[in-house]
């Protein structure tokens, strides 16, 4: 199957020219709808500017997803972040990689498949609010509208030059645990009569840095956790022993654990290190996910990448990814594969290499067809 590379690049440029911060996706959603209509597809837009369309028919159904919103440009750009400029095989602008490359790839794939007889159904879901808050609410309504057997997120990188393609089959979870360590204020000329909350926090941090508290798993892939203290605030006055110290402990959890597990472990460590005089609370978190590398959608993607001459392997993402939420929402296996250029998400002078987005799109298209074949066609 041939993809129209001119269409891919032009569409990507058009998409980049429309700013689409979280909650500002209306215009870009409209462009996507009009592109789908040009192909003769009917698209539905919900109140949050998620766009859904589908094509083909048959029992097997697969989801293809990318997100419409981008982070704001931020400072320090040397070019117009909304130019969509094409230079030396790269398209520049905010969202060029993350994630409008994926959106353009989806439209290009749809355009190629719409004229073919598909042995299954392809559901296109363009999501809003990936980068901002409130996505749980914005996506709740999608549960009833999308009915699929598996899914492909195009929100990862690929390296076309070195022919390397990761197939993401899961991600670690995240938890932010808030700890308040208590002490006793006193005049700093006689600190031994107070209890220094910063020193107590230090004792706790020392324990938290011990690799003993990290869990690991071996199957289906080896994954190790991280714990990092990311915020610390303590003390109020230069001549007073501080009576409280606040900190945020950031966990990157095994994909199978819930954020509550992080709280349980901080409590254990605090009980050991401090015994009393502390408060621990879960501030927020998201569960990761992992699927079997032998599941049809993962196999379909791995084979597709190999067919296109790539070295491909399954991996569990270190950071939390949107595929985890889609996995939970639709209750099906999801992989994330690339159309982005590595290191080009949320950076100034963002770009995507045309070769990356084009090869990523080819692999995604082949993954869809492989999935229909592997899962028994229509």
From 356, 337, 347, select the one nearest 91 (Cα to Cα). Answer: 356
User: 98 or 243: whose CB is closer to Zn ion?
Assistant: 98
Residue range at the interface with Zn ion (CB under 5 A); choices 155-163, 185-193, 198-206, 349-357? 155-163
Selected from 25, 54, 149, 155, the binder of Zn ion by CB under 5 A is 155
Q: Of 149-157, 170-178, 252-260, 356-364, which part binds Zn ion (CB under 5 A)?
A: 149-157
Q: CA-CA distances (angstroms) from residue 58 to 28, 118, 149? A: 30, 8, 12
Cβ within 8 Å of residue 271, ≥6 positions away: none
Site string for Zn ion, 195-234 (x = CB under 5 A): ----------------------------------------
Cβ partners under 8 Å of residue 306, min gap 6 = 312
Cα distance between residue 87 and residue 28, in whole Å: 23
Q: Is 350 in the site for Zn ion (CB under 5 A)?
A: no
Closest distance between Zn ion and the C-beta of residue 95, in Å?
Answer: 9
Nearer to Zn ion, 70 or 375 (CB): 70
Q: Which is nearer to Zn ion, 84 or 183 (CB)?
A: 84
Owner of token pair 């057997």: 149
Stretch that binds Zn ion, among 97-105, 117-125, 350-358, 360-368 (CB under 5 A): 97-105
Question: Could you tell me how many residues of this chain bind Zn ion (CB under 5 A)?
Answer: 3
Residue placing its CB nearer to Zn ion in the complex, 98 or 356: 98
**99 binding Zn ion? (CB under 5 A):** yes
Residue 305 beta carbon to Zn ion: minimum distance, rounded to whole angstroms: 20
Extract the runs of DSSP E, i.e. beta strands, from the chain. 44-45, 51-56, 61-67, 86-87, 90-92, 121-127, 150-158, 164-171, 173-182, 186-187, 216-217, 223-224, 226-234, 240-241, 244-253, 278-286, 289-290, 311-317, 334-341, 351-353
The sign one gets for the Cα dihedral 168, 46, 3, 86 is negative
Considering the complex, what minimum distance in angstroms separates the CB of residue 334 from Zn ion?
14
The bridge status of strand 186-187 relative to strand 86-87 is unpaired
Among 98, 261, 308, 350, binds Zn ion (CB under 5 A): 98
- Distance between alpha carbon 127 and the CA centroid of its chain, in Å? 12
* Closest residue by Cα to residue 321 from 184, 203, 168: 168
Asked if residue 359 binds Zn ion (CB under 5 A), the reply is no
65 or 244: CB nearest Zn ion: 65
Residues, the chain, total? 378
Stretch that binds Zn ion, among 148-156, 247-255, 256-264, 363-371 (CB under 5 A): 148-156
Binding site for Zn ion (CB under 5 A): 98-99, 155
């Amino acid at each position: 199957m041939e993809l129209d590379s001119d269409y891919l690049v032009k569409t990507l440029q058009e998409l980049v020219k429309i700013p689409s911060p979280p909650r500002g996706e209306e215009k870009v959603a409209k462009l996507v709808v009009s592109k789908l209509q040009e192909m003769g597809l009917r698209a539905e837009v919900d109140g949050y500017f998620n766009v859904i369309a589908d094509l083909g028919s048959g029992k097997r159904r697969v989801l293809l997803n990318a997100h419409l919103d981008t982070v704001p440009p931020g400072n320090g750009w040397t070019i117009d972040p909304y130019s969509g400029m094409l230079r030396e095989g790269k398209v520049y602008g905010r969202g060029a990689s993350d994630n409008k490359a994926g959106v353009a790839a989806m439209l290009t794939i749809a355009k190629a498949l719409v004229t073919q007889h598909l042995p299954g159904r392809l559901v296109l879901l363009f999501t809003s609010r990936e980068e901002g808050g409130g996505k749980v609410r914005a996506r709740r309504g999608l549960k009833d509208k999308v009915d699929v057997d598996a899914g492909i997120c195009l929100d990862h990188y690929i390296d076309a030059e070195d022919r390397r393609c990761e197939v993401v089959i899961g991600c670690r979870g995240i938890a932010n645990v808030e700890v308040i360590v208590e002490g006793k204020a006193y005049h700093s000329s006689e600190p031994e009569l107070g209890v220094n909350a910063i020193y107590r926090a230090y004792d706790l941090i020392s324990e938290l840095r011990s690799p003993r508290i990290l869990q690991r798993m071996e199957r289906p892939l080896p994954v190790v956790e991280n714990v990092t203290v990311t915020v610390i605030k303590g003390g109020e006055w230069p001549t007073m022993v501080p009576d409280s110290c606040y900190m945020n402990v950031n966990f990157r959890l095994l994909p199978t654990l819930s954020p509550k597990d992080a709280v349980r472990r901080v409590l254990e460590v605090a009980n050991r290190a401090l015994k009393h005089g502390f408060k621990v609370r879960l501030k927020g978190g998201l569960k990761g996910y992992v699927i079997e590398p032998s599941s049809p959608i993962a196999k379909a993607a791995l084979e597709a990448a190999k067919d296109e001459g790539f070295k491909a392997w399954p991996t569990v993402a270190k950071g939390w990814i949107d595929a985890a939420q889609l996995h939970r929402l639709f209750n099906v296996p999801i992989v994330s594969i690339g159309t982005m250029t590595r290191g080009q998400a949320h950076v100034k002078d963002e770009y995507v290499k045309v070769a990356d987005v084009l090869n990523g799109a080819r692999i995604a298209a082949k993954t869809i067809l492989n999935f229909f074949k592997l899962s028994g066609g229509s």
